[in-house]
Chain A
Amino acid sequence: EAQVTQNPRYLITVTGKKLTVTCSQNMNHEYMSWYRQDPGLGLRQIYYSMNVEVTDKGDVPEGYKVSRKEKRNFPLILESPSPNQTSLYFCASSLTGGADEAFFGQGTRLTVV
């Protein structure tokens, strides 16, 4: 089954404790991206990757890092989480980019206290 898998689904952490949210897709897609969803703001892109070892900032990259060492995986790293990063996070993949159908993971609800 074609899917994007994120882990964990829920995470509560403390300010400053490094964390990683994993994302994996099994569709051989080149393009992957991370979004955060906040009430009234819709989805905002954090980072995206057009292929292995190619990543770039989206609209709200501050406080986040990503890596793309393999085509299927695109982890999101918060080196020093802060309460304003409490949000719902989605990973998405598509064949080559934004005009293709994007497939989304189920989301990771992160709370930073």
Chain B
Amino acid sequence: AQSVTQPDIHITVSEGASLELRCNYSYGATPYLFWYVQSPGQGLQLLLKYFSGDTLVQGIKGFEAEFKRSQSSFNLRKPSVHWSDAAEYFCAVFSGGYNKLIFGAGTRLAVHP
């Protein structure tokens, strides 16, 4: 069955530090992968997506993610975190068989000044 695993429930980083959020997926075919961000009290917003082509994708707010088929991973990165990046981040894979997104459990990011 398709699934998404985000191994880290909570991550805390200092402002200005680099960030990497991990995501592993289980999917038989070539996956369509997404990262969404949920700011406090808000709905989810798309950060970036991977469908095919270049395995390093750029998104909004300075985020990027790298697709690694050999590791079944799609980790999200940012070189320098800002306090406004504190939020919950969700990785998702599109399940073509069911025409829906399958979400991971989320990683909550805290940013220390």
Interface residues, chain A, CB within 8 Å of chain B? 4, 31, 33, 35, 40-45, 48, 50, 58, 90, 92, 97-99, 101-107
Partner of B45, one of A44, A48, A99, A104: A104
Is the Cβ of A106 less than 8 Å from the Cβ of B43?
yes
Partner of A106, one of B32, B42, B51, B98: B42
Given A33-B100, A50-B99, A97-B99, are A40 and B9 also a contact pair (CB < 8 Å)? yes
Please report the C-alpha to C-alpha distance between residue A78 and residue B16 in the assembled complex, in whole angstroms: 45
Partner of B100, one of A58, A103, A107: A58
Interface residues, chain B, CB within 8 Å of chain A? 4, 6, 9, 32, 36, 41-46, 49, 51, 90, 94-96, 98-101, 103-106
User: What residues of chain A lie closer than 8 Å to B9, measured between beta carbons?
Assistant: 40
Minimum CB–CB distance from B93 to chain A (whole Å) comes to 9
Given A97-B99, A98-B99, are A42 and B106 also a contact pair (CB < 8 Å)? yes
User: What residues of chain B lie closer than 8 Å to A58, measured between beta carbons?
Assistant: 100
Given A42-B104, A50-B99, A98-B101, are A104 and B44 also a contact pair (CB < 8 Å)? yes
Minimum CB–CB distance from A106 to chain B (whole Å) comes to 5
Is the Cβ of A43 less than 8 Å from the Cβ of B103?
yes
Given A42-B104, A58-B100, are A99 and B32 also a contact pair (CB < 8 Å)? yes
Is the Cβ of B44 less than 8 Å from the Cβ of A90?
yes
User: What residues of chain B lie closer than 8 Å to A45, measured between beta carbons?
Assistant: 100-101
Please report the C-alpha to C-alpha distance between residue A58 and residue B99 in the assembled complex, in whole angstroms: 10
Is the Cβ of A42 less than 8 Å from the Cβ of B103?
yes
Which A-chain residue is minimally distant from B93 (CB atoms)?
A98
Is the Cβ of B100 less than 8 Å from the Cβ of A43?
no
Is the Cβ of A104 less than 8 Å from the Cβ of B43?
yes
Is the Cβ of B105 less than 8 Å from the Cβ of A42?
yes
Q: Name 9 A/B residue pairs within 8 A (Cβ), A-sorted.
A: A42-B105, A45-B101, A50-B99, A98-B96, A99-B94, A104-B44, A106-B42, A106-B43, A107-B43
Partner of A102, one of B6, B42, B46, B98: B46
